[in-house]
Structure 1
Amino acid sequence: MEKWKKAVFIVMIILVAGSLAGCNKETEESKEGGDTPTKDNPKVVEIAILDGMAPYTYQDENGDFQGYDYKFLEKCDELLEEYEFHYNAVDPDAGAAAVQAGTYALSCSAHFVTPAREENFLLSIPQSYYPVNLISRTEDSFTKFEDLDGQVVVPNPPNDGLYVVLYKMAEEFPNVKFSQEEVSEYVSYYDSCKGVANGTWDVWFGGKSMYDDIIAQEPMDLFCSDPVYCADCVVVINKEYEDLRDKLNECIVTLYQDGTLSELSKEWLGMDCFQVAEETGALYDYDSYKK
């Protein structure tokens, strides 16, 4: 009798353990977003499209999404048949918090690599590059970082990639003393150019692609230098989407190797940013990519 009771007890333990394992598996699947996505049962991925960030991400006069990063995501969506991307217009100041909270799976809009992003998100390999230029009044025509000495720079919030690059370069040039107002929100590309033109600030530590887009719509008496730095741009991804991050990395390698990214860059950024990255020694080694 005792042996029989013991056997029943062991069976019950096994059944309970199996049940708990099943619960844990179900919980883990829920955390990852359900069953493994397939072509026939694709997983819908909510994506934050930061508005007003032309030529990277923005809405045109018809309310349609446009820009380099949006078109890049469309190409990835075509390659990833097991996923279905759904795009949402989001204010740039709200994008990071919404992705971190899980409201959206990812954001892609000329995002630099920063310590905060490395800590709080998964990051893709570079899917574009941001040549940093000095935009100043024509009468000044700044061409190098040392020209910032004594100047007032368009403000950037501390969580902005340009802010990180600016102060990284400042460490390399400790004798260059510039001033920059502390802000918590982004100054738009247009307001940056306009503010430099009207004398509110002396220089915008920004990008030629945005500058060209603005000047084409409203000419201003400004000068844009050659690149003084070339920064990696990455997809910023919620930490629960590791598999998607890996898939996106594979897409980036494919789209780089077949020339798609260079063509998108020429079309939307007015240059091949991958060539600029290669010329400045910033190009990622896509041919050697491994998970």
Structure 2
Amino acid sequence: MKKLKITLFIAILLVVLAACGSEGETDSSTENQTGDNQNASSEYGLIEEGKLIFAASGEFMPFSYMEGTEMVGYDIAVAEAIAEKLGLEAVPQKAKFSGIVTGVNEGRYDIAVASHTVTEERKEKVNFSKAYYYSGPVIYTRPDSEIQSAEDLQGKEISVSRGSTYVDTAKEYTDNVPQVDSDVVALQSLASGHHDAVITDNITGKTAIMNGLEIESRGQLGVSEQAIAVNKENEALLNAINDALQELKDSGELAKLAEEWVGVDITQEPEELE
């Protein structure tokens, strides 16, 4: 009987030790997996672990605009696709366009996916990714306007979105450049009889016309690259975004997003001006 008790005790002890060993191995595996995720996220220097906080204006249809309380559009879809590639949660933040680059520079947002045109002035404050679409300034007027080309803009009142590159474009023709909160506001004001012209991108103008605004295009003034703004101190995140964009381009997903939200593929650099 004593020998049976000893044998039973040893058997129970072995079961307990095996269970402890198994539990220890599971915890170690879980810790390693969690650690890997944290390391992957930490290398990007994000504001919040596991999240990609990005800014957009929410006032630039079809690139970013509000549907109820949700911000949607091509810019938003691109940001979400990049976040998915990086294994991060996309967190959009609505902000005034004129302050977005400063917000990235000061660390309020990880990145900006807000249809920013790459300029030397902006490159002094932030780094830019590869272009995720191409655009360019276009002249818009009312149908009865005498303005037919760029030469006719001399001395006219040209309204533009505050903080956009179109401010400098307009100032090449006139000193009378009223600035408003968004391109849509400028075009609505133009259609209502204010200003002589508006300079904005072709897609925004076409969308406004489709939505019933009585305005017309009078010529494109150039081609520009639209890219994602990243803090200058965050090279790792910039490189990861460029890799993600390249994958999206190579797979055709970027073009599909453009066609879904904009109606045409704007991801290919135009060979020449139309």
Under TM normalisation by the shorter chain, which class is it?
Answer: 0.7 to 0.9
Offset at 1:182? 5.8
Root-mean-square deviation (CA, aligned residues, Å) is 2.6
> For residues 48 and 274 of structure 1, do their structure 2 counterparts lie closer, same or farther at Cα, with a shift above 3 Å needed?
closer
> For residues 263 and 180 of structure 1, do their structure 2 counterparts lie closer, same or farther at Cα, with a shift above 3 Å needed?
farther
1:1-291 paired onto structure 2 within 5 Å = 35-37=39-41, 43-61=50-68, 63-81=69-87, 83-140=88-145, 142=147, 144-157=149-162, 159-166=163-170, 170=172, 177-181=173-177, 183=179, 186-217=180-211, 219-275=212-268, 277-280=269-272
Q: Percent identity?
A: 20
> For residues 108 and 249 of structure 1, do their structure 2 counterparts lie closer, same or farther at Cα, with a shift above 3 Å needed?
same
Report runs of 4+ in structure 1 exceeding 4 Å deviation: none
> Which of these two proteins has the greater Rg computed from alpha carbons?
2
**In 2, Cα distance between the equivalents of 1:164 and 1:252?**
29
| Amino acid of the structure 1 residue aligned with 2:209 | I
**In 2, Cα distance between the equivalents of 1:47 and 1:196?**
31
| Amino acid of the structure 2 residue aligned with 1:51 | G
**In 1, Cα distance between the equivalents of 2:244 and 2:63?**
18
Offset at 1:141? 7.0
Do 1:131 and 1:228's aligned partners in 2 also have CA atoms closer than 8 Å?
yes
Offset at 1:187? 3.2
Offset at 1:156? 4.5
**In 1, Cα distance between the equivalents of 2:177 and 2:56?**
27
Aligned residues: 231
Moved more, 69-78 or 251-260: 251-260
| Amino acid of the structure 2 residue aligned with 1:228 | L
Do 1:141 and 1:224's aligned partners in 2 also have CA atoms closer than 8 Å?
no
Deviation string for 1:22-69 (max 9, x for gaps)? xxxxxxxxxxxx84428xxx73222123221221112212x1221111
Offset at 1:165? 4.3
**In 2, Cα distance between the equivalents of 1:225 and 1:163?**
18
Offset at 1:250? 1.2
Q: TM-score, normalised by structure 1?
A: 0.70
Q: Secondary structure at the match of 2:55?
A: strand
Do 1:131 and 1:273's aligned partners in 2 also have CA atoms closer than 8 Å?
no
**In 2, Cα distance between the equivalents of 1:155 and 1:72?**
25
Q: Secondary structure at the match of 1:107?
A: strand
Could you list the runs of 5+ residues in structure 1 that have no partner in the other structure? 1-33, 171-176, 282-291
Offset at 1:224? 1.8
Do 1:76 and 1:251's aligned partners in 2 also have CA atoms closer than 8 Å?
yes
Deviation string for 1:159-192 (max 9, x for gaps)? 422224445xx3xxxxxx4343365xx4322321
Offset at 1:246? 0.6
